[in-house]
Amino acid sequence: MKIETGRVLDRLPAEERCLGAVFTSYSFDPAFFEENVLRAVLRLTSDPVEQAERYHNEARRALQETPVVVVVDAGERRAGRRLPYDLLEVSEAVFHPKSVLLLYRDFARLLVGSGNLTRPGFGENTELFVSTDMIYVSGPDIALLDSFDAHLGRIEALVRRTGTQLRLIREEIRRRLPTAQSPAPSAGLPLLDSTAGPILDQFAALIPAGAIVTSVGMLAPFYETDDIDAVVADDTSVFGLLEKRVGPEATLDIGLRWENPQIQPTAPIELSEGLNRIWAMKTAEKDADLTYLVPTDLTRNTMAYLDGAGQRRRMPLDQATTSVEDRTLWIQPDPLAFAPRQAIANASDRFSKVRYWLHPASRLVDGRATHRPLHAKMMAIVYRSGTRDTTLIMMGSANMSRRALLLKSGKGGGNVELGLAFAIEGHFELRDFVPDLVHAPPSACNPAEREFPKKDPNFALAIDQASHDPGSKTLHVSWTPMAAALASWRLSYDGRDIASSVEAPSLAVCVKDFTLNPSTAEVILHVDGKDYSAPILVTDLVGLPVTSSGAGVGLEELLLLLSRRIGTERTLLIAERRNSKNGDGLTSLFGRGSLQRTCSRPGGARPKTSRMSISLCRLSVCGSRARSGSKLPGHAC
């Protein structure tokens, strides 16, 4: 088993050209995606900040060669799309999967996990991903790729507008799948897809007949909400579905996001006043991390406590008292965590032990305060068949709720969710995958119900389609029945109004002599002082004009480059400024009359750092299935 902490961005690209890419996400940040993810996948060399025009032209040329599709929830994506990849929306069901499929010549790379296509999802939260490379000549890999293609087909039936690129990518996939009619072998990493049926039913079906479940672990930032039925029976709860398979000594582990850990020392209190509550402890070592403990008993000479793993320990009482006085041991406020208390209470009748595990949203990493909240989702089921224990793992997008796990997706039904399952021989628990989890006995943790704010209407859904035909240079905007609710509205593109009325729109808007500018690939609907963006889909990407970018590099710039005083991107920028302003290349670097130690931007601002370089690490499970027959991914990303 290989668990690694790292950047998902580092796992995406291969040492060859990508032939097609599909991304799915719940929330979506186009600026982060275009400046970081696309830059990595398409192996773009220009800087998206320092060389915005050059980067846009390079990306547009790459998108004409490599089809790219992003499928997101229509109500959760952000505005700001500038590049003409296909951005497809799902609105009739909560669209919640997080996946990446990258096609290369001899293999396809698949990542399925919990992180959204946002900066927090790819770098700041604690997330879990399973990554695998599917070789086109491997039977199990072909089966997994075929399952994912079928998943894309069912997603295609849900999107509001299909665009042009998803069809190209699916054709690329099918060219690599066998044409024989023989039954496909089973996938080594089963794909769990709510568009085909309830996720938990698919996962439970992987437990062999006759096996007894000895442990169930659940980890998620969001759980189901208690309702009136949960008070009477728990048969429809995610905690009670495995009731008939659970053994008499089975345990239930529940991993929760801990919202309010106190990472800085608080005013000292007596140890006797904080028994059975969580305390934080920091050693005197420089850059030390925090550990957590729960004092349970004080004697004349010792303090008994539970450590972060729930193990019983003892500490000399004078050492504990001194640590309190030195403020290296301090009590935590009552943990703020969210879970359905009644459903968990009902589950206590089925499990011999229920344990809480808290994941601190803030912590000290190498002595520095870091905010990295839990967003990972996983379920671990340990079952015993004969005398052997096996742990069955599911990682993906699904929170521990009915809509995510117990219902098939669709209008009025469950969410669209996606996960991957794998088995490991032996007994493993949540903390083996997320070691930052802190054990909290019931006396120290009293979960609350989470309340979700009511959402305002999303008037972006009033736009049925915004499409641009580069051949005829037109923009066509059509409407959905929701547009009948628009009493007064205005439609704009790149700051210029293209239509408006004080009555609901009844006819489509057609803009002639339209040019898709590098600054934006969205139209904006203005209603009641609010802005609602809608992506513009291009009918023919190859027909989009791509201007040549970059000025000719002169002798001076070459000398600066060869002397290693500046890099390639800086060389091109100086050349562009020299050609546009008739300035001297050396002067633009060093200034007049004196040697400058730093380069300057117009206006005296210091150079900006590329946003790609500031993504933080996050927890991920990566690898591809070992060819030795192991059931777990065998090498790390």
- Which DSSP letter does residue 482 get? G
Confidence class of residue 452 from pLDDT cuts 50, 70 and 90? confident
pLDDT tens digit sequence for 177-234: 887 655 556 668 999 999 999 999 999 999 999 999 999 999 999 998 876 444 444 5
Confidence class of residue 240 from pLDDT cuts 50, 70 and 90? confident
- The whole-number pLDDT of residue 564 equals 60
Instruction: Report the CATH fold assignment for 459-543.
Output: Immunoglobulin-like (2.60.40)
- The whole-number pLDDT of residue 531 equals 96
CA distance 139 to 239: 35
Mean pLDDT value of segment 398-402: 94
- Please state which architecture CATH assigns to domain 199-260+336-444: 2-Layer Sandwich (3.30)
Confidence class of residue 567 from pLDDT cuts 50, 70 and 90? low
β-pairing, 68-73 vs 86-90, is parallel
- The whole-number pLDDT of residue 161 equals 93
* CB contact at 8 A, 410 and 240: no
Q: Which residue has the tokens 């049925």?
A: 464
- The whole-number pLDDT of residue 622 equals 45
Two structure tokens written together for 450:
């989470």
- The whole-number pLDDT of residue 345 equals 86
C-alpha triplet 197, 198, 203: angle, nearest 5°: 105
β-pairing, 368-371 vs 362-365, is antiparallel
Q: Burial, 372: exposed, middle or buried (Cβ in 10 Å; 0-12, 13-18, 19+)?
A: buried
Residue 2 in this model has a pLDDT that exceeds 80: no
Two structure tokens written together for 463:
């736009």
* CB contact at 8 A, 303 and 320: yes
Residue 267 in this model has a pLDDT that exceeds 50: yes
CATH 3.30.870.10 is held by the domain 4-189: yes
How far CA 418 is from CA of 21, 42, 188, 193, 628, in Å, comes to 17, 25, 16, 5, 27
- The whole-number pLDDT of residue 393 equals 97
Two structure tokens written together for 571:
């060389």
Confidence class of residue 336 from pLDDT cuts 50, 70 and 90? very high
Which residue has better confidence, 547 or 130?
Answer: 130
Confidence class of residue 614 from pLDDT cuts 50, 70 and 90? very low
CA distance 258 to 104: 40
Confidence class of residue 99 from pLDDT cuts 50, 70 and 90? very high
Are 199-260+336-444 and 459-543 in the same CATH fold? no
Mean pLDDT value of segment 8-16: 91
Q: Mapping DSSP to helix (H, G, I), strand (E, B) and coil, where does residue 230 land?
A: helix
Confidence class of residue 285 from pLDDT cuts 50, 70 and 90? low
- The whole-number pLDDT of residue 349 equals 83
What residues does each domain of the chain span?
Answer: 4-189, 199-260+336-444, 271-331, 459-543, 552-590
Of the spans 318-332, 344-358, 600-614, which averages the highest pLDDT? Answer: 318-332
Confidence class of residue 21 from pLDDT cuts 50, 70 and 90? very high
pLDDT tens digit sequence for 367-381: 788 899 999 999 999
- The whole-number pLDDT of residue 601 equals 33
CA distance 71 to 632: 28
Question: What mean pLDDT is reported for the chain?
Answer: 85
Least confident of 1-10, 259-268, 413-422, 479-488: 1-10
- The whole-number pLDDT of residue 245 equals 86
Which residue has better confidence, 593 or 325?
Answer: 325
Mean pLDDT value of segment 125-152: 94
Which residue has better confidence, 635 or 453?
Answer: 453
DSSP codes, 366-377: TTEEEE--B---
Confidence class of residue 575 from pLDDT cuts 50, 70 and 90? low
- The whole-number pLDDT of residue 623 equals 42
CA distance 295 to 303: 7
CA distance 319 to 326: 10
Residue 634 in this model has a pLDDT that exceeds 80: no
Least confident of 136-145, 360-369, 441-450, 504-513: 360-369
The torsion angle over the Cα atoms of residues 466, 495, 52 and 533, rounded to 10 degrees, is -40
